[in-house]
Chains A and B, each alone.
Chain A
Amino acid sequence: MQSTNSLQIENKDENIIADSALDSYVVNPHIRVANLNLKIGDNHILKDINLNIPPKKITCIIGPSGCGKTTLLRSFNRMHDDSPNVKITGKIFVDDENIYDENIQVIAIRKKMGLLAQRPCPLPMSIYDNVIYGPKLHGAWQRRKLYENTKHYLTEVGLWEEVKDRLKTPANQLSIGQQQRLCLARGLAVEPEIILGDEATSALDPISTKKIEELFVTLKKDYTIILVTHTLRQAKRIADYIAFMYLGKLIEFGTTEQIFNHPQKQLTKDYISGYFS
């Protein structure tokens, strides 16, 4: 009993530091996580997460595997809804709306965010149908407009020139790097404000990875981007802000420069200098 108490106090201390650290960087957060706790059965996966995600920037969540970074990312678009035994307390505000509020429609939340999974997962249909799948769900029906949109988003991810002659071929005939860009275009086509990437490049070859990374950097002028990554170098290359997690807790949040050059916590220092991974 005593020990848990002291642990909680310790937690709070850390959160205060994290909070004060980010306040100076983020005035108008796009996503605000407040006291988020997540349990799967008796496993406490996320512990008192407080985090502000700045708009139109790339935020990378880093940390050793099993630290809960993917779990945190998936709680942003309520992907845990269907998993049994998952209990979530706390709040996540997107545009000042608590997405775990009872009156919120989960499909509306998910429309606001595109998710890029670890391995590309094209839907079992043609390239064209993959891109228009989302817009059609949400009510778009004019063929002309759908086509224009498809062209626009495929161009945006740099795939248009490669596939414009075979839009009707099954999407799984593309190379894996192309598939991932298609998935990105598919996510962009529902006009989200936020892009979530769950180690989106870990299954790709270096060239495709570079393409995707460049895309993220261009896209951040219009979108808030949150990426989970376990390669520190990737975070260093493209992130504006970095959140470091360890054992379910948010240890430190700051600009990339700050985290890599002047980490406040010993844990962060050890992690980025490669003492553990």
Chain B
Amino acid sequence: MIRFRLFKDKTARLTMLGITIFSLFFLLLIGIGLFYMSLPILREKNIWTLLTSANWKPFKGEFGFLPYIISTLHVTFIAIVIALPFSLLTSIYLIEYASKRVNNFFSPIVDLLSGIPPVIYGVWGTLTIVPFISEKIAPHFVEFSTGYSVLAGGIVLSVMIIPLLISIFCEVFSAIPNEMREASLSLGATKWQTVKKIVLRKSMPGIVAAIALAVSRAFGETIAVLMVCGNIPIIPSSIFDACYPLPALIANNYGEMLSIPSYESALMMAAFLLFIIIVFFNAISRLILNRIERRYQV
């Protein structure tokens, strides 16, 4: 009886350890797998040419990633620029000014916003943002725009990263000890001055980390952006032009390109590129956030 229980105990422990170790290597496995599958194109072409050429003609064997990379950067940049002030101000309001009741009211709203599936954001974008750009905004600046554009992608994406930014900002702000605020308030500073001079300054690393996380989230967002950004592989010349981010490239073409040599490998390289950049951004921001959590925990 005791032996059997001890045997079960040991088996369970080893199984758990095994699964834990396996999961630890899973990240590595994805990285190596993607790298391995993008090897054929890397052997064929110079990596620098791949990244800086704007020629995307799979049928002729030319794979220039530049339009996709530029598109991704443009869309992400716009999304951050729009989302940052809104989420920063809202988070300050929630942590520094608002009562508990307001917070309780707000937290399901943030949850819901982050829970809405990308495809729904895409539907919403095509129904509202796209026509709005093409009819109301674009005519003031350019002759013609379908509305499916860098700007549309950026706007939709910004709404999608706002909940992420808010939840991390709130965590970072509430990690600042109250004594610091009180010290500043007791010197006669107003609440906003305290926020500006103490809270924001002290949480700079956390804010940077949150932005890095949001950037990596924006880089990888696929369906919603794909539905509103037009998908034309040229380098966009204005924010009202269509664009074609990396994830959309993979989503639109993978699975249907097996007859063209190197195409699959090129798409795998796109995935590998995304993977590396996102892992890098994630790692940095997690390291910063973990350090913040540890510093104020003790």
Contact = CB atoms under 8 A, between A and B. Distances in A.
- Touching chains A and B, CB distance < 8 Å: yes
A139 B6 contact: no
Interface string A112-141: 000000000000000000000000011100
Nearest to B1: A139
A137 B8 CA distance: 13
A137 B5 CA distance: 9
Contacts of B5: 107, 137
A105 B1 contact: no
Interface in A219-257: none
Contacts of B1: 138-139
Interface residues of A, number: 6
Contacts of A27: none
B298 interface: no
B2 interface: yes
Nearest to A106: B6
Interface string A73-113: 00000000000000000000000000000000101100000
Contacts of B2: 105, 107-108
Nearest to B2: A105
Nearest to A108: B2
A108 B1 CA distance: 11
Interface in B1-26: 1-2, 5-6
A182 to B, nearest CB: 24
Nearest to A111: B2
Contacts of A107: 2, 5-6
A108 B5 CA distance: 12
A82 to B, nearest CB: 12
Interface in A164-202: none
Interface in A145-169: none
Nearest to B4: A139
A89 B6 CA distance: 25
A69 B1 CA distance: 34
Contacts of B6: 105, 107
A108 to B, nearest CB: 7
A105 B2 CA distance: 9
A235 B2 CA distance: 37
A109 to B, nearest CB: 12
A105 B1 CA distance: 12
A107 B5 CA distance: 10
Contacts of A138: 1
Interface in A26-77: none
Interface in B177-228: none
A190 to B, nearest CB: 13
Given A105-B6, A107-B6, A139-B1, 6 more contacts: A105-B2, A107-B2, A107-B5, A108-B2, A137-B5, A138-B1
9 contacts: A105-B2, A105-B6, A107-B2, A107-B5, A107-B6, A108-B2, A137-B5, A138-B1, A139-B1
Return the 4 tightest CB-CB contacts between A and B, nearest first. Answer: A139-B1, A105-B2, A107-B2, A108-B2
